[in-house]
Structure 1
């Protein structure tokens, strides 16, 4: 089912969202100081290209730096990317088939506005990590794959 949703998503929203995030990435890479914002933008762009089967969890070891980064991100480009998600979500909700995709688009606004201090992981890994990103299984942390 995830594959079918991802393919439908890719055709109707994912490609265009990825293009928007790629433009934001390229603009951020122009200035040396904003390269971390470009990396975050590209990471979210890849997530918005193929979102079903993955989720976003908070990183508990991030502090004030990620908060400051999120404020700067919001001012520089997060708000217009959130606007792209909002418009795309509303357009998708016009049809009955597009409603689940529109709702998924609205859920992406949260990570779009606050990308720092969050990890994009598979749903299975999120279950293993628990709600707060802390290991809840008996496996050592090195046994779980690292993703960023």
Structure 2
């Protein structure tokens, strides 16, 4: 079932979200200071491609630099990404077939809001 949902997700919205996060990651990696944000954007892009069967957990050992980076991320991009995922998730939940995709979109809110100090693992 996860494979079918992942293919539907990839075709309808996952590919476009992954491309957007990957472009943001490239831009962040060009600017040397924002490389940690670029790496986080690449992780989110990977998760956006294939979200079913994977989950987000806190990375052990992530300390104060992750917290400070997350505060900057929230102020610059995180809040807007989270709002975008909420709006898209609500729109997807308006149809019966879109409900699992909307739930997957809601599942991406925590990692798009505070990506540093998180990792994506199989369920």
- More helix per residue: 1 or 2? 2
Residue correspondence of structure 1 range 56-71 to structure 2 within 5 A? 56-71=56-71
Give the secondary-structure state (helix, strand or coil) at the position aligned to 1:65: helix
Three-state SS of the structure 2 residue aligned to 1:115 is coil
By how many angstroms is 1:104 displaced? Answer: 1.4
Could you give the per-residue CA deviations for residues 25-47 of structure 1, whole angstroms, max 9, x where no partner exists? 12212311001100100111110
Partners of 1:103 and 1:28 lie apart in 2 by 28
Distance 2:59 2:23 in 1: 26
Give TM-score scaled by structure 2 length.
Answer: 0.92
Structure ID, larger Rg: 1
Q: Which has the higher contact order (CA 8 A, sep 6+)?
A: 2
TM-score by length of 1: 0.78
Cα deviation, residue 117, structure 1: 1.1
- Unaligned stretches of 5+ in structure 2? none
Q: Do the aligned partners of 1:13 and 1:88 also contact (CA within 8 Å) in 2?
A: no
Q: Distance in 2 between matches of 1:34 and 1:75?
A: 14
Alignment of 1:3-82 (within 5 A): 3-82=3-82
Aligned to 1:136: none
Which 4+ stretches in 1 moved above 2 angstroms?
none
Residue number in structure 2 paired with 1:132: none
Q: SS of 1:51's equivalent?
A: coil
Contact 1:29 1:35 in 2 (8 A): yes
